[in-house]
Amino acid sequence: MLQVVRAGALTTVQDGGRIGYAHLGVPRAGALDDPARQLANRLTGNPADAAVLETTLTGCAVRPTRAVTAVVGGAPCRVTVDGRPAPWGAPVVVPAGAVLEAHPAQHGVRSYLAFGGGLCPEPVLGSRSADLLSGLGPALLRDGDALPLGTPRDHGTPPGADTAPWPGIPASLVLPVRPGPRHEWFTPDALRTLATAEYRVSPHSNRIGLRTDGPALERSRHGELPSEGVVLGAVQVPPDGRPVVFLNDHPTTGGYPVIGVVPEPSLSAAAQAAPGTELRFTLIR
């Protein structure tokens, strides 16, 4: 088992997500920075789809009941084992009963803790991911919780690696946007504003959406839009006119117009954008 000593502000279990159930109203969930999750698993010797812990800003501390190989990656942070410095972004063996702590993020937002054998809470609809919108999957971690650990496929010995190219955390964020499906609900000036204005990541952002502070986008149509399906990366514009980029826990339908969509490969950078980060959108076709 993995015992939770310090849960942190928002720590969840995440894997690759609950894909294929949007038609039933079930969000995708899954790690927001999935490349970081997959790299942490690879360095731990796990299959790419193994579940990990995703922390938010403040990190967490856990105690395994057996010796386990672990990797802390994603947002850079100080790592300790029983108070002694340990490497970030590289495998470390945590003895049984020792406390592995991922301290608060020094840059970025979300760190990922992978453990040999992966985390094995009961899957729901084929995924072990926690979904904050629907409530599916494991609950938000609390101090004193315990999570089951899987059996390492290589008996805990991590694979050798010459390099581990962890992506850097950008000081500013540039998100490409493909216009549509409801860009005609906005004025030409609104599209120009979206492509040229400077926004900031709002502190009200969460796993559901990256909210923005900046100029409002003016609509050319002011009627009601019937709820329709929305996808990961959709840039929805609520009544205040400030775009929201939908992330993994987004609702599967929405009634506000979507001015464009950010391609999925660009969203991992959005997952690491701290509140106040400069954000610009660039239109693509």
pLDDT band at 9 (very low <50, low <70, confident <90, very high): very high
Could you give the percent of the chain with pLDDT greater than 90?
90
pLDDT at residue 102 tops 60 = yes
Indicate whether 154 belongs to any domain.
no
Indicate whether 159 belongs to any domain.
no
221 and 110 in a single domain? The answer is no
Overall number of domains in the chain: 2
Per-chain mean pLDDT for the chain: 94
178 and 274 in a single domain? The answer is yes
pLDDT at residue 153 tops 90 = no
Q: In 3D, which of 76, 92, 66 has the Cα closest to residue 146? A: 66
66 and 129 in a single domain? The answer is yes
The tokens describing 116, both together, are 């040999």
Backbone angles phi, psi at 81, to 5 degrees: -125, 115
**What's the pLDDT at 158?**
55
**What's the pLDDT at 112?**
98
pLDDT at residue 19 tops 90 = yes
189 and 122 in a single domain? The answer is no
Beta strand segments in 28-144, E: 52-54, 60-64, 68-74, 77-81, 84-86, 92-94, 100-105, 111-115
The tokens describing 81, both together, are 């084992």
Mean pLDDT of 32-51: 95
Could you give the percent of the chain with pLDDT greater than 70?
96
Residue pLDDT, tens place only, 112-152:
999 999 999 999 999 999 998 889 999 999 999 999 999 98
128 and 194 in a single domain? The answer is no
116 and 195 in a single domain? The answer is no
93 and 198 in a single domain? The answer is no
Host domain of residue 250 = 172-283
Residue pLDDT, tens place only, 154-212:
644 455 565 578 888 889 999 999 999 999 999 999 999 999 999 999 999 999 999 99
Using the CB atoms, write b or e for 70-100: b if 16+ within 10 Å. bbbbbbbbebbbeeeebebbebbebeeebbb
Indicate whether 162 belongs to any domain.
no
252: left (phi over 0), alpha (psi -120 to 50) or beta: alpha
With 0.75 as the threshold, say if the pTM is over it: yes
Cis bond leading into 64, ω under 30°? Answer: no
pLDDT at residue 269 tops 70 = yes
Mean pLDDT of 249-266: 96
**What's the pLDDT at 165?**
81
124 and 13 in a single domain? The answer is yes
**What's the pLDDT at 156?**
44
Residue pLDDT, tens place only, 42-55:
999 999 999 999 99
Mean pLDDT of 266-276: 95
Q: Which residues pair with 40 in a beta bridge?
A: none
196 and 59 in a single domain? The answer is no
**Which of 112, 147, 182 is the endpoint of a domain?**
147
Tell me how far apart the alpha carbons of residues 8 and 43 are, in angstroms, rounded to a whole number.
Answer: 24
Indicate whether 52 belongs to any domain.
yes
